[in-house]
Amino acid sequence: MKQLTFKLVALILFFLIGNSVVQAQLSKDNEKQLNELMSKMTLDEKIGQLNQYTGDYLATGPVVQDGEKVNQIMQGKVGSMLNIKGSADTRTYQEFALKSRLKIPLLFGLDVIHGYYTTFPIPLAEAASWDLEAIEKSARISATEAAAGGIHWTFAPMVDIARDPRWGRVLEGAGEDTWYATKVAFARVHGFQGKGLGTPNAIMACAKHFAAYGAAVGGRDYNSVDMSERMLRETYLPPFKACVDAGCATFMNSFNDLNGVPATGNAFLQRKILKGEWDFQGFVVSDWGSMGEMIAHGFASNGNDAAMKSMLAGSDMDMESRVFTNELKKLIEEGKVPMELLDDAVRRVLTKKFEMGLFDDPFRFCTPDVEKKELSNPAHRTAARDVAKKSIVLLKNEKQTLPINLESKEIKTIALIGPLAQSEYDMLGAWSISWPDSEIVSYEEGIRARLPKNIQLVIAKGCEINGISTAGFAEAIEVAKKADIVLLAIGESIDMSGEAKSRSNIHLPGVQEQLAIEITKLGKPTVAMISGGRPMIFNDIADQTPAILYTWWLGSEAGNAVAEVLFGDYNPSGKLPISFPRDEGQIPVYYNYFNTGRPLNGDDYEIYKSAYIDMSNKAKFPFGYGLSYTSFEYSNLQLSAPSLSQSGTITVSCSIKNIGNKAGEEVVQLYLRDRVGSVVRPMKELKGFQKVMLQVGESKTLTFEINSEKLSFYNIELNWVAEPGMFDVMLGSSSEDIRLRSEFELK
């Protein structure tokens, strides 16, 4: 029986494989060199190229303390190392690799997620900037610094759609919306890969985690995912396809099982879709140990079975599980894994090494002088500060609390209170690369640097980030009493979001909200600056504190960026890329929901409607929401025609005017709704946005194009279709703040 099963699997895969063997386009000369090299390689040397080990400076997963890696490198048994950084150390390891028989250079990978030496805001924060150019620039600078530090390959962008803020890794992506996430994914791949592999400062990008990792049950990291293929293709896969379209060099699979099959052993994902339908020419690296973890999943019976299922399913490189290096040779010799598959995986990996120019010069990334210059380039910090201030979201601003006018005679003392007031390391957020000498600007430092001499800054911690003690409240309240305005620096610590950091309770940690309310009760102008890697719940602050800035984790320039917004040097323009729930009980809450047959109209409970008896359905702060120090008037929505054909386009335009007293930027969002479909369709879907700067009194006309692609979805037969019928078109300042509406017909 087992033999029959195996033969059946091999037959099915052979069909899949036929469509998934690489046809990468190398130069004729490199192609010739690659073929010659492969013809010389022993089975051990081929398997070696598919084996990746971690360096010892940083563990980003459970480390296996075993065999001597340097000897294995010199024997040609290692194709890549991760978690080694710096041109000196990468040179050292590359020299080991060049002692091997065929002198095949190593690939050095590292999680350059939001910066290498200069730390940029976490990706979710950058997504809140709605500035694709700034996002691409952030990746470009990160790549430039990483390349100077000997890194060939970043394990980014993470493009997992996430609707569950209990999941700690929501910080790594672009939030809940698929269409916007595809734009961000494309920008990030372009940023990392620059003008193409082999050009200066270009490093390989890695689309991860393939796939649907953000839908883990309960928001529990690494947990199971179960969804229809239609949901998978419509909501979770498009950002990955955008990475393929952007020429992304590699993919990383994910820890989760998807519909019962672990992603690492999932031929449907990796062979049928990625390497088949999408004709992906790069290679797939497993996530840390994920091949071996298929034993724990109960999908593989042992390492040998795990290696076979990984290879058959299209996983090309084994990160840290060792099942390839321990088992593949036997599997090939026993004919359980076709040699063609092994050769395809090896060819994919070597193709990238040729494209990166490593065979021409294995040390082209080991350049200490370039490293020194790039890591101290002041333009990088300027860019980090720029995107950081654009990432800040103004959630509330009553009584014109903000911006703080430093010219005001009434302001002599500012109090900065909270456990994050003086923190530096926390400002970096998860997946930052720490350096002993890299400067991080804390809130205190950034604010102090901005204050004129006549204004005093007084500080009190008030409480710990986590913990129940209120012993510090009294001092904090006394300090606040002396001040004319109070700034609250509160939120998560750096280690409360990120991988393996799911939280069942996403309220502000500890007694911070209690502290904030005690301070707010003093009745002084009070601003809450809330930092963290995810949406959090802080309903009392939201209802009682007059001003709130969501400051995420802003990176190296955090304090300077916050100061620019607090004191009005920069008018905040951020908009939320993810919904903020009122309570964990609402999760998942997202803007593009289906209407249901018993929709709740408005906010109050109605019996026999889809509603909670104890809470509104609505997010506390919705997708696309963010305020400004000025205000904008939307008018004059125009459609170029009342209908369009399947191949046609119409344009929708509107006027937007700055009717406030400060120059500022607005992110005008275009939402569409398909009123009737062969499957139910969301109440609205983001299908366009424009971020526009307007001077006081200035007005601009914005135009958006609508075509059938923007109206398309997967029908029940999984065909990508746009169905004739009526559509709503909406322009708004957030998903809940629709300013202009109209309709059109698709013929």
Q: Give catalytic residues, as residue numbers.
A: 287
- Report, in angstroms and rounded to the nearest whole number, the Rg of the chain calculated over CA atoms: 27
Q: How far is the CB of 362 from ligand GLC (least distance, A)?
A: 23
Q: Which residue matches tokens 């030496």? A: 117
Rounded distance between C-alpha atoms, residue 370 and residue 383, angstroms? 19
Count other C-beta atoms under 10 Å from residue 128's C-beta. 26
The helix (H) or strand (E) run that includes residue 368 is helix 368-375
> Could you please report the per-residue DSSP string of 260-288?
TEEGGG-HIIIIIIIIIIT---SEEEPPT
For residue 583, the Cα-to-chain-centroid distance in whole angstroms is 23
Q: How far is the CB of 589 from ligand GLC (least distance, A)?
A: 26
Candidate list 48, 55, 61, 682; residue touching ligand GLC; CB under 6 A: 61
Rounded distance between C-alpha atoms, residue 21 and residue 281, angstroms? 8
Q: CB-wise, 83 or 129, nearer to ligand GLC?
A: 83
Q: How far is the CB of 295 from ligand GLC (least distance, A)?
A: 17
Q: CB-wise, 288 or 473, nearer to ligand GLC?
A: 288
Token pair for residue 457?
């800054």
Q: CB-wise, 110 or 541, nearer to ligand GLC?
A: 110
Candidate list 288, 591, 623, 713; residue touching ligand GLC; CB under 6 A: 288
- Interaction residues for ligand GLC, span 688-727 (CB under 6 A): none
Candidate list 45, 160, 499, 564; residue touching ligand GLC; CB under 6 A: 499
Q: CB-wise, 221 or 685, nearer to ligand GLC?
A: 221
Q: How many residues does the chain have?
A: 747
Q: CB-wise, 96 or 431, nearer to ligand GLC?
A: 431
Candidate list 120, 155, 552, 590; residue touching ligand GLC; CB under 6 A: 155
Q: CB-wise, 193 or 442, nearer to ligand GLC?
A: 193
Q: CB-wise, 65 or 454, nearer to ligand GLC?
A: 65
3-state helix/strand/coil string of 565-624: HHCCCCCCCCCCCCCECCCHHHCCCCCCCCCCCCCCCCCCCCCCCCCCCCCCCCCCECCC
Among residues 474, 484, 496, which one has the least CA distance to residue 423? 496
Beta-carbon contacts of 602 under 8 Å, excluding residues fewer than 6 positions away, are none
Annotate each residue in 232-261 with x if it binds ligand GLC (CB under 6 A) or - if it does not, as one string: ------------------------------
Residue 160 binds to ligand GLC (criterion: CB under 6 A)? no
Q: CB-wise, 83 or 526, nearer to ligand GLC?
A: 83
User: Are 107 and 80 within 8 A, CB to CB?
Assistant: yes
For residue 687, the Cα-to-chain-centroid distance in whole angstroms is 20
Q: How far is the CB of 120 from ligand GLC (least distance, A)?
A: 17
Q: How far is the CB of 462 from ligand GLC (least distance, A)?
A: 35
User: Are 458 and 483 within 8 A, CB to CB?
Assistant: yes
Token pair for residue 152?
């060939």
* Alpha helix ranges (H) inside 592-714: none
Q: How far is the CB of 209 from ligand GLC (least distance, A)?
A: 6
Q: Which residue matches tokens 């290096």? A: 325
Q: How far is the CB of 131 from ligand GLC (least distance, A)?
A: 25
Q: Tell me whether strands 250-253 and 206-210 are parallel, antiparallel or unpaired.
A: parallel
Q: How far is the CB of 354 from ligand GLC (least distance, A)?
A: 24
User: Are 444 and 422 within 8 A, CB to CB?
Assistant: yes
Q: Which residue matches tokens 């790549």? A: 143
Candidate list 60, 223, 259, 690; residue touching ligand GLC; CB under 6 A: 60
- Interaction residues for ligand GLC, span 106-135 (CB under 6 A): 111
Q: How far is the CB of 59 from ligand GLC (least distance, A)?
A: 9
Residue 287 binds to ligand GLC (criterion: CB under 6 A)? yes
- Interaction residues for ligand GLC, span 70-89 (CB under 6 A): 82
Task: Tell me the site size for ligand GLC, rule CB under 6 A.
Answer: 9
Q: Render the burial of 68-86: b for 16+ CB within 10 Å, e for the rest.
A: ebeebbbebbbbbbbbbbb
Q: How far is the CB of 319 from ligand GLC (least distance, A)?
A: 7
Q: CB-wise, 290 or 520, nearer to ligand GLC?
A: 290
User: Are 555 and 121 within 8 A, CB to CB?
Assistant: yes
507 forms bridges with which residues in the sheet? 537
Rounded distance between C-alpha atoms, residue 697 and residue 629, angstroms? 14
Rounded distance between C-alpha atoms, residue 646 and residue 627, angstroms? 37
Residue 380 binds to ligand GLC (criterion: CB under 6 A)? no
Q: CB-wise, 320 or 564, nearer to ligand GLC?
A: 320
Rounded distance between C-alpha atoms, residue 490 and residue 152, angstroms? 37
Token pair for residue 562?
């916050």
Q: How far is the CB of 321 from ligand GLC (least distance, A)?
A: 11
Q: CB-wise, 167 or 570, nearer to ligand GLC?
A: 167
Candidate list 137, 163, 208, 348; residue touching ligand GLC; CB under 6 A: 208
Rounded distance between C-alpha atoms, residue 239 and residue 134, angstroms? 19
458 forms bridges with which residues in the sheet? 415
409 exposure class (CB count in 10 Å sphere: 0-12, 13-18, 19+) = exposed
Q: Which parts of this chain interact with ligand GLC (CB under 6 A)?
A: 60-61, 82, 111, 155, 208, 287-288, 499
